[in-house]
Amino acid sequence: MAEIFSFPNPVNEFVARGIAAMVVVLTLAAIFANQWWLLAILVYIFAAGVATGPTLNPLGFISARVLIPLLGNPKRPTPGPPKQFAQSIGLVFSVTALVLFLIIDSSVPYRAVLGVLAGFAFLESGVGFCAGCYMFGLLMKWGVIPESVCEECLRYEPAAA
C-alpha cells in the first residue's frame, strides 16, 4: 500500500509535460462546458497526482503508457518533490474552482481560476516551465521548505523545451 501512495522521485519530465497538456484540454473543456462533473474530475486528477504521482492518476497513466511510448520513450529525470508541490497547487486551484461553481451564481469566478490553471499547465506542457516547481525552489532558498526535503532541488532549473 505504501508503494501505491508515494510520489516518485525522480519523475520523467516528459510524462509530467504530457499530463500538463491533458490538463490544459480538460480545463478548457470545463471552462466551456460549464459542467460541475468536469471540475470534480480535475479535483480527482490532482488529488491522485499529489498522493500517488501517475499511479492512480488517469492522465498520468495515459501519458506514461500511451503518449510517451508514441514519442519514442524520451526520458529526462527531474526531482519529484517540486512536481508534487505543483500538483498540490493544481489541487487547490481545482477545488477552488469547484467550490466557486457550486456556491456562486456567476460562472466568471470559477472560469477565471480555471483560466489561470490552464495558463500554468500550458507553460508546463508547451515550454517546460513549471511555475509550481519554480516556487518550490524559491521556498527552499528562503528556508520555508527545509533542504532535507530535496537536496537536489536547490539546483533545480526548469527544463527548457
Number of domains in the chain: 1
Write out the three cell numbers for 8: 516518485
In a domain, 43, yes or no: yes
Whole domain around residue 52: which residue ranges? 11-155
Block mean pLDDT (10 aa), the chain, length 161 = 75 94 97 96 96 89 94 92 95 97 93 98 96 93 88 56 37
In a domain, 140, yes or no: yes
In a domain, 5, yes or no: no
- pLDDT at 1 (0 to 100): 60
- pLDDT at 109 (0 to 100): 96
- pLDDT at 105 (0 to 100): 84
Write out the three cell numbers for 42: 480535475
- pLDDT at 7 (0 to 100): 83
d(CA 112, CA 116) in angstroms, rounded, equals: 6
- pLDDT at 155 (0 to 100): 56
In a domain, 2, yes or no: no
In a domain, 161, yes or no: no
In a domain, 4, yes or no: no
Task: Report the 3 state secondary structure along the chain.
Answer: CCCCCCCCCCEEHHHHHHHHHHHHHHHHHHHHHCCHHHHHHHHHHHHHHHHHCCCCCHHHHHHHHHHHHHCCCCCCEECHHHHHHHHHHHHHHHHHHHHHHHHCCCCHHHHHHHHHHHHHHHHHHHHCCCHHHHHHHHHHHCCCCCHHHCHHHHHCCCCCC
